[in-house]
Amino acid sequence: MKFVPLAVGGAALGLSAAAVLVVPGSGATASTQSASVVDKPHPVASKYLKQRPRWTKCGEEEFRTYCAKITVPRDWANQYSGNDLQIAVSKVAPVKGKPSRVVFGNPGGPGGAGLGMAPYLASQAPLAKDHLAVGFDPRGAGGSSNVSCEGTPGYTMDARDRDPATRDLIAEASELAQPYCDRQSRGLLPYVTTAQTVQDMDLIRQLLGFDTIDYVGYSGGTWLGAYYQTYFPEHVGRFVLDSNTDFTKTWMDTFVSQPQAFERRFREDFATWAAKYDDQLRLGSSPGAIIRRYERLRRALKQQPATEEFLDGAIKVTYDQNSLDQMISGDMYSKLDFPLLAADLLFLEELSAAQAKGGPQAAQRHVDALSTTRQRQLVQRADRTPIGLRMLGEDSEDATFTAITCNDTPWPQGREHGEQLAARLGPHFPLIGWTMAENPCFAWDRPNLTMPTPTGEGLPTTLMVQSVHDPATSYSLALSAHSRYAGSRLVTVTGEGDHGVYGGVNRCADRIVNTFLTTGAAPAKDTTCAGEGIPAPEKDAPGTGEMSGAPLRRIARFTQAVSGYLP
């Protein structure tokens, strides 16, 4: 899952979502958008089946990746309207021979650009032998026809501020989101839904000439995968759902679990780890001391934000309480980011202290004293979005995320619902719990869409993979979905909290997934893999989640490398 202030959620301590507020059914949510419903697959018009994609090399030779654009209808229920869209697709063939199977991938978001999934899946040695690896940018994002929310008022206020004027500003920003998004998206916004996207996927399958697809979906990609299975069960092969949403319920049910999961990851994983290495990291000798230090720094940055120039004044970065919270939340996705987070917390503390003592000039001198390499690293991290369902930080991906999560399933309408959640969750889970009201879905006019609920009935085995301390898609979501999804097998990775497991986080889980994808053999029953632990910090330089062990970061780098080669 992606964490952004536009749409976050959490689970109340000891309370179910139903105990926090009553979520009305779809009839209680406004639905005056004119988009036709797509609640079942539609036969494909021959003009789409007759197209011949022009595959061109994208990225460096070593990636062996080819990309093309295919044409899809804007509305699958109205294929003769003439309002066609373009979907960017990537593929990597085996080094030798003709592929016997095809594996699709999605990095999540929802709305994350996914061209990098093809070279990423092809880099997994077992899949490279006989699978055609396929990625795509979903409608709305990346190299596909875009939606945009550019200019939308953001949530720049402190969500912890309970002043009525602040709550009014938050509500106003939520209410203005859809008008801005509609205006910038030229009528496409109501058609950016999972129901439309799964039919795009199936057209790709048909054009590639395969009867069934295998699939690896991370985070929000688990939602997409479960719905593809629901709409096209006869074309389902071996599906792996990694870091799971609860795709058997609503998007709100998934987001309402986030505050508790992020807080747990921060307190029990990061703070405990940092305290263990206090002699090296210098953040505190106990988890409680580290949390208190964070709260003091947050108060200082709220009282006096710091705006500094980096790289000889080429870039300005402002640090305030919101940027601090977002930095911490983003670094919870991968344990490989923990050392950099520790270093950055110390940097911000020293920067804030310098400013308090000597003013802005003293703070700037503190920045100027850093090496160019360290300045570049700080700039990169200030501009970096959390890994997960948002991959490159482009507006189209944010807008697609908002459209899908607000369009797909009902949300209660009215600011009071978000404010009630914030008031209940914030005191228990302050890292992001107070931001629950910062969500345009509470003021969103949905299209007239009702999608079938995924049940897993009649499907081959679905393999689910989940770490127990995942911050963005809580383990509780995987358990809930697994209990409702017929034929699913759950691989639980204990002692682990990374979001996105398959492909370098856990060797035991990788073996199970690779066996399943290459042979079809799934565990006979639910199974457990022991986590491999959080590595000790490096003595000379902090580690980074950009390393090979963070699958979603690797996918993002592949996507960046192969994007932009198509008109």
3-class DSSP assignment, residue 135 = strand
Pair 207, 336 in one domain: no
Q: For residues 242 and 510, is the Cβ–Cβ distance under 8 A?
A: no
Would you say residue 15 has pLDDT above 60? no
% of the chain beyond a pLDDT of 90:
85
> Same domain for 560 and 425?
yes
SS3 helix, strand, coil % of the chain, rounded to 5? 45, 15, 45
Q: Are 275 and 218 in the same domain?
A: no
pLDDT at residue 380, rounded to an integer? 84
Print the domain residue range for 312: 258-383
Does 110 sit behind a cis peptide bond, omega within 30 degrees of 0 on the bond before it? Answer: yes
User: What local confidence, expressed as pLDDT, does residue 38 receive?
Assistant: 61
The closest alpha carbon to 207, from 46, 361, 320, 431, belongs to 46
Cα diameter, the chain: 71
Report d(CA 85, CA 75) in Å as an integer: 9
How many angstroms from the chain centroid is the CA of residue 83? Answer: 29
Do 399 and 539 share a domain, yes or no?
yes
- Whole-angstrom distance, CA of residue 28 vs CA of residue 482: 28
| Mean pLDDT of the 526-544 span | 83
Domain boundary among 383, 399, 419: 383
Judge whether residue 542 has pLDDT over 90.
Answer: no
Does position 545 have pLDDT exceeding 80, yes or no?
A: no
Strand partners, 140: 146
Asked if pLDDT for residue 19 goes beyond 90, the answer is no
pLDDT tens sequence across 59-100? 999 999 999 999 999 999 999 988 999 999 999 999 899 999
Whether residue 277 contacts residue 536, with contact meaning beta carbons closer than 8 Å, is answered with yes
N-to-C CA span, the chain: 29
Residue 33 has pLDDT above 70, yes or no: no
User: Residue 230 corresponds to which amino acid?
Assistant: T
Strands 56-57 and 66-73: what pairing?
antiparallel
Q: How far apart are CA 132 and CA 55, in angstroms?
A: 14
User: Model confidence over 257-301: pLDDT tens digits?
Assistant: 999 999 999 999 999 999 999 999 999 999 999 999 999 999 999
Task: Tell me what pLDDT residue 540 has.
Answer: 59
Instruction: Verify that 224 and 338 share a domain, yes or no.
Output: no
Contacts of 427 (CB under 8 A, 6+ apart): 433
**223 plus 307 within the same structural domain:** no
How would you classify the pairing of strands 131-136 and 101-106? parallel
Q: How many domains are contained in the chain?
A: 2
Tokens matching residue 558: 């592949």
pLDDT, position 18 = 28
Which helix (H) or strand (E) segment holds residue 315: the answer is: strand 315-319
Q: Is the pLDDT of residue 29 over 50?
A: no
Residue 385 clears pLDDT 50, i.e. is over it: no
Helix/strand/coil for 298: helix
β pairing state of 66-73 and 84-92: antiparallel
pLDDT of residue 541: 55
Domain-ending residue, one of 351, 383, 415? 383
The mean of the pLDDT values for the chain is 90
Burial 143-162 (b: 16+ CB within 10 A, else e): bbbbbbbeebeebebbbbee
Do residues 462 and 487 both lie within one domain? yes
- Answer for the pair 499, 243: CB distance below 8 angstroms, yes or no: yes
Q: Answer yes or no: are the C-beta atoms of 403 and 189 closer than 8 Å.
A: yes
Same domain, 187 and 268: no
State whether residue 22 is helix, strand or coil. Answer: coil
Tell me what pLDDT residue 233 has: 98
Whether residue 544 is predicted with pLDDT greater than 80 in this model: the reply is: no
Average the pLDDT over 413-434 and give the result.
97
Let me know whether 219 and 112 are in one domain. Answer: yes
369 plus 433 within the same structural domain: no
How far is residue 553's CA from residue 545's CA, in Å, rounded to a whole number? 7
pLDDT tens digits for range 339-357: 999 999 999 999 999 999 9
Same domain? For 360 and 431 the reply is no
Residue 436 backbone dihedrals phi, psi, to 5 degrees: -60, -30
User: Is residue 175 domain-shared with residue 276, that is, in the same domain?
Assistant: no
Q: Given phi > 0 = left and psi -120 to 50 = alpha, else beta, which region is 234? A: alpha
553, pLDDT greater than 50: yes
The answer to whether 352 and 323 have CB atoms below 8 angstroms apart is no
Chosen domain end from 341, 360, 383: 383
The answer to whether 317 and 327 are in contact (CB under 8 A) is no
The CATH number assigned to the domain holding 147 equals 3.40.50.1820
Q: Give the HSE-up count for residue 266: Cα atoms under 13 Å, Cβ half-sphere.
A: 27
